[in-house]
Chains A and B, each alone.
Chain A
Amino acid sequence: MSQTIFTLKQRPDVPLEAEVLTPDVVASLSHGEVASLPLFMGKRQFRVDDFFEVNGSGTDNLVFHGDCGRVKWIGRAMSHGRITFSSHAGMHLGAYMKGGIIKVGGDASDWVGGEMSGGLIHIHGHAGGQTGAAYRGSMKGMKGGTILIEGSAGIELGMRMRRGLIAVRGPVRDFAGLQMKGGTILLMSGAEIRTGAWMVRGTIISLKPLKMMPTFSAGCVYNPNFLRLYTKSLAEHGFTTPVDAWHGVYRRYTGDTSVPGKGEILVWSGPAH
């Protein structure tokens, strides 16, 4: 499969904005056209080849080499194709994404998959804050698609999300699932505090004990069999979950009663009997 390879020449001092670097824009362009696409750094406009070595002509398979942790907006609103980072990716990676696949070998910054509606983002390192979240003032976060994080994630994970799935293997900071209205968050190493605060609907599953908000009501302990479906689909993306997770029993909490909301938090409470 042919690729368009971007190798970062040097890490920029001031963050670069590269919203044009998506399969949707690049696929139909010649090598020269890709190299001359505009990038923005502060108040200045540059060309792609001012910062990247470009190999190959435009395809819908973009590969980034070098530390792109200070390159923002790659994969913005992409609808198909594939983007692979061998190292880190910058802010707003795959924001408004509609389809396709993004894979990050290193870490990603804040706002990964902000307001995305479809597609898959798989981060092998850590993710920053506001993953799959709504932009400021907006009522709707992630509306579909899947975000998988092998490392840790920052605050406000899945803030105001409506649909879709976020799974995090590492620890997650405060306000996971804040004001969530739908969709599913899987926390494999738990989260710090205020998980599910102000949630209206949707499901948060935690394999580790959680510090609960006082505005959740503890309910029954049971084995939700829909978890098997999730584990299966996660495994298809190479995101493995322990066997205990889907055999286990869970304590079900509902809330947040301050809204009042009908969200649910399922906390693993032991292997099935």
Chain B
Amino acid sequence: MLRITGGKVYDPANGVNGVIRDVCIQDGRIVADVEAGRTINATGMVVFPGGVDVHTHVAGAALNFARAMIPEDHLHSEPFVRTAIRRGGISGATPTTYVTGYLYGGLGYTTVNEAAVPILSARHTHEELRDTPIVDKSTCVLMANNEILLDQLEAGETERARHFLAWCVGAAKAYGVKAVNPGGVTAWKWGKDANTLYELVPGYNKITPAGIIQSLARIVDDLGLPHPLHLHCNNLGVPGNYATTLETLKLVESNRAHIAHIQYHAYGGNDWTTMRSESTRIADYFNAHPNLTADAGAVLFGNTVTITADGPWQHLLYKLTGRKWGNIDVENETGCGVVPYVYKEKNLVNAIQWAVGLEMLLLISDPWRMSLTTDHPNGAAFWRYPEIIELLMNADFRREQIKKLPPKVLERIILPELTREYTLYEIAIITSAGPARSLGLRQKGHLGIGADADVAVFNDIKEARKMFAYPRYVIKGGEVVIEEGEVRKTVEGHSLLTQPFHDPKIADFIRPLFQQYYTMSFDNYPVEMERLEHPDVQPCTQANS
């Protein structure tokens, strides 16, 4: 039993805006009152629901591939020295799994969504997530370039496609469905890309990226998955891509969709020299369409490594940087590319990217539909979120930072004109309540009675950067895991998953195809439930169909 008393509580999901009240915890849940147990005096502090990261890359084959590529980054990152409580490890752009848990917990985050999991290596992702303490974990399975699925869409077998997709979510022990550069990764397997939404996908006679996007958004809604289609649009990072993004948003008008790392999809211009921000156009459309949610994918200057299932983009980035490049294509399902990258303040393109991330966060008017992310580690490592919060809450600080950019940038961005400053209430929305709602996690992102007892307590100070970097207390599932910025206890997290309904006979349909196209035995393909740490199946709204 635990009582947090005297703190200013921000619980947007329940309309609580900076009210001094007690938060009581028993058996891992928020309760109305407790009679005994520890009391934390949070006078002079603010109390938030535990943070929720809607889009991050913290585990699995691609990230683990990246880890091996950047020993030089590990060498210069802060080492985590082993203690009696916590294990040793490495921070930096691709923290080791245990350190990932400590670092997220150390920011007051208690739930993360690993956004890109191939079914074929989902077992690996879950093994890593098991070794990621403190946070609860959900995953999105990559479907938009799955060739068995594309074959069904090509053949017009939409119902079978739905059953197949539902089976895949269950097999991967995933929570949601992710679409990355629909059709483009398949094309990449021949060294090509899908640059327009209406061209045929190489190897197919009927399907286009547009068709894949619409079908997937519809299937996800039909299955009643709690999280909408998690969509990484085509032409990521390319100047002039805002047009593709707008077309994509129109395609999903009659469905729900979550637009991942929207910053990377809001550029104008024709090439790298004429690139400019088109955040206003994207935000205007977005603001008028409540079916959409998004996350920022904001960029901060400095060293990082970019990892995405978007193979063609990564090859382009490699050609631009001339540095290292890693790529793994995953049979029949997806691909992945890895390129170490430095975002430089004095680089025109990078400066525009930095500005566009903040512009999107400031221009999207409804904070409930916009989550704070850096598409970790693509835009910056997640442990740098407090720097972004400072930029959002403090327009003066923002102006100081803009002054450091090359002057040429000013005519390409609109950031200097934006005066909005986020309130603490809005920060609680974009870091917790909003992403929880977008993910459809009813137990998360709020402090109402019955919610999971995931709570973050921060000093109520002016500098948001310091305030959010060092929470005074972090409570996960009712246990105090962080105190005074130090790891005090390392609890195990839950694995959040869904099991959407599928016709059990679909397995008989998949088996022969699988034997033909794959190199693993079909029986070994689905991840066994026993391999998950504390599996926690979340309901779909459509029990069957």
Contact = CB atoms under 8 A, between A and B. Distances in A.
Interface of A: 135-139
15 contacts: A135-B71, A135-B72, A135-B75, A136-B71, A136-B72, A137-B69, A137-B70, A137-B71, A137-B72, A137-B73, A137-B75, A138-B72, A138-B75, A139-B72, A139-B323
Contacts of B75: 135, 137-138
Contacts of B73: 137
Q: Is the interface of A mostly helix, strand, loop or mixed?
A: loop
A143 to B, nearest CB: 14
A139 B341 CA distance: 13
A139 B323 CA distance: 9
Select the residue from A135, A137, A138 with max chain B CB neighbours within 10 A: A137
Nearest to B70: A137
Q: Is the interface of B mostly helix, strand, loop or mixed?
A: helix
Interface of B: 69-73, 75, 323
Contacts of A137: 69-73, 75
Nearest to B68: A137
Given A135-B75, A137-B71, A137-B75, 12 more contacts: A135-B71, A135-B72, A136-B71, A136-B72, A137-B69, A137-B70, A137-B72, A137-B73, A138-B72, A138-B75, A139-B72, A139-B323
A196 B69 CA distance: 24
Nearest to B324: A137
Contacts of A139: 72, 323
Nearest to A136: B71
B344 to A, nearest CB: 15
A185 B72 CA distance: 24
A137 B69 CA distance: 7
A251 B474 CA distance: 68
B52 to A, nearest CB: 33
A135 B70 CA distance: 11
Contacts of B70: 137
A260 to B, nearest CB: 13
Contacts of A138: 72, 75
Nearest to A134: B72
Nearest to B74: A137
Contacts of A135: 71-72, 75
A136 B323 CA distance: 15
A107 to B, nearest CB: 26
A139 B71 CA distance: 11
A208 B70 CA distance: 38
Contacts of A136: 71-72
A45 to B, nearest CB: 12
A221 B284 CA distance: 68
A138 B340 CA distance: 11
A36 to B, nearest CB: 21
A-B pairs with lowest CB-CB distance, top 5? A137-B71, A137-B72, A138-B72, A136-B71, A137-B70
A136 B75 CA distance: 9
B67 to A, nearest CB: 11
A94 to B, nearest CB: 17
A93 B226 CA distance: 58
A186 to B, nearest CB: 28
A245 B75 CA distance: 41
Select the residue from B70, B71, B72, B75 with max chain A CB neighbours within 10 A: B72
A189 B68 CA distance: 37
A50 to B, nearest CB: 22
A61 B69 CA distance: 40
B339 to A, nearest CB: 14
Contacts of B69: 137
A136 B72 CA distance: 7
A138 B324 CA distance: 11
A135 B75 CA distance: 9
Contacts of B323: 139
A139 B69 CA distance: 12
A182 B430 CA distance: 48
A257 B235 CA distance: 34
A29 B323 CA distance: 44
Contacts of B72: 135-139
A223 to B, nearest CB: 35
A139 B73 CA distance: 11
Nearest to A138: B72
A114 to B, nearest CB: 11
Nearest to B73: A137
A137 B68 CA distance: 9
A137 B71 CA distance: 5
A40 to B, nearest CB: 12
B72 to A, nearest CB: 4
A111 B71 CA distance: 16
A10 B508 CA distance: 72
B338 to A, nearest CB: 13
A182 B221 CA distance: 58
B84 to A, nearest CB: 14
Contacts of B71: 135-137
A138 B75 CA distance: 9
A16 B69 CA distance: 29
A206 B72 CA distance: 31
A135 B74 CA distance: 12
B73 to A, nearest CB: 8
A225 B323 CA distance: 35
A119 to B, nearest CB: 21
Nearest to B71: A137
A95 to B, nearest CB: 11
Nearest to B323: A139
A133 to B, nearest CB: 13
B110 to A, nearest CB: 33
A126 to B, nearest CB: 27
A137 B74 CA distance: 10
B68 to A, nearest CB: 9
A135 B76 CA distance: 11
A140 to B, nearest CB: 9
B464 to A, nearest CB: 34
A73 to B, nearest CB: 14
B372 to A, nearest CB: 31
B295 to A, nearest CB: 30
A63 B375 CA distance: 52
A42 to B, nearest CB: 14
A135 B71 CA distance: 9
A175 B73 CA distance: 25
A138 B69 CA distance: 10
A74 B71 CA distance: 23
A138 B73 CA distance: 8
A216 to B, nearest CB: 22
A138 to B, nearest CB: 4
Nearest to B69: A137
A93 to B, nearest CB: 18
A21 to B, nearest CB: 21
B74 to A, nearest CB: 8
A136 B74 CA distance: 11
A131 B69 CA distance: 23
A259 to B, nearest CB: 11
A265 B69 CA distance: 31
A48 to B, nearest CB: 21
